[in-house]
Amino acid sequence: MDCIFCKIISRQIPASIIYEDDKVLAFNDISPKAPVHVLVIPKTHVDTVDELADMSVVADLFLVMKKIAAEQGIDKSGYRIVVNQGHDAGQAVPHLHFHLLGGRSLLGLSIF
Ligand code: 5GP
Ligand code: ZN
């Protein structure tokens, strides 16, 4: 499949991977908007929230985001989770991904 994030999953494209299990992959955003800017994705390709049928994927992603936030030391200071859905939100990569952002004040941060 010609999907950039699927290629990161299959190691065809390099990325700074910080977490992996059988269902979820997390890696640093190539163009970070905050000191912590991690993309958390399901390893099974889903284009968008709209295409998501198996909602257990959402629980898997949130559990991993909580774990990463604690590991990166932003669980107490706070963080933001963002999903851009479709054209009007500026979704650039059509493989469902959650942005996990933190490490500084995010007030006024526009995504994207
Ligand atoms: P979207 O606008 O679709 O919500 O966000 C896509 C995100 O993917 C952007 O923050 C962008 O910087 C990131 N991104 C795009 N291509 C790559 C890539 O090849 N590697 C990594 N690590 N991040 C990418
Ligand atoms: Zn994909």
Residue with CA closest to ligand 1 atom 5: 92
Q: Tokens in use for 38?
A: 């991690």
Q: What is the pLDDT of residue 1?
A: 74
In this prediction, residues 39-43 reach a mean pLDDT of 98
With a cut of 90, say whether residue 34 has pLDDT above it. Answer: yes
Q: What is the pLDDT of residue 92?
A: 96
Stated pTM of the model? 0.97
Q: What is the CATH number of the domain that holds 18?
A: 3.30.428.10
With a cut of 90, say whether residue 110 has pLDDT above it. Answer: no
What is the CA 31 to chain-centroid distance, rounded?
13
How far apart are the C-alpha atoms of 111 and 36, rounded to whole Å?
14
Would you say residue 34 lies in a domain?
Answer: yes
Would you say residue 16 lies in a domain?
Answer: yes
In this prediction, residues 67-80 reach a mean pLDDT of 98
- Measured in angstroms, how far is the CA atom of residue 29 from the centroid of ligand 1? 6
Count how many Cα atoms sit within 13 Å of the Cα of residue 63 in the half-sphere of its side chain: 10
Q: Catalytic site residue 87?
A: no
With a cut of 70, say whether residue 112 has pLDDT above it. Answer: no
Q: Which of 39, 40, 46, 88 to mutate to test the pocket of ligand 1 (most atoms within 8 A of CB)?
A: 39
What is the domain extent for residue 66? 4-102
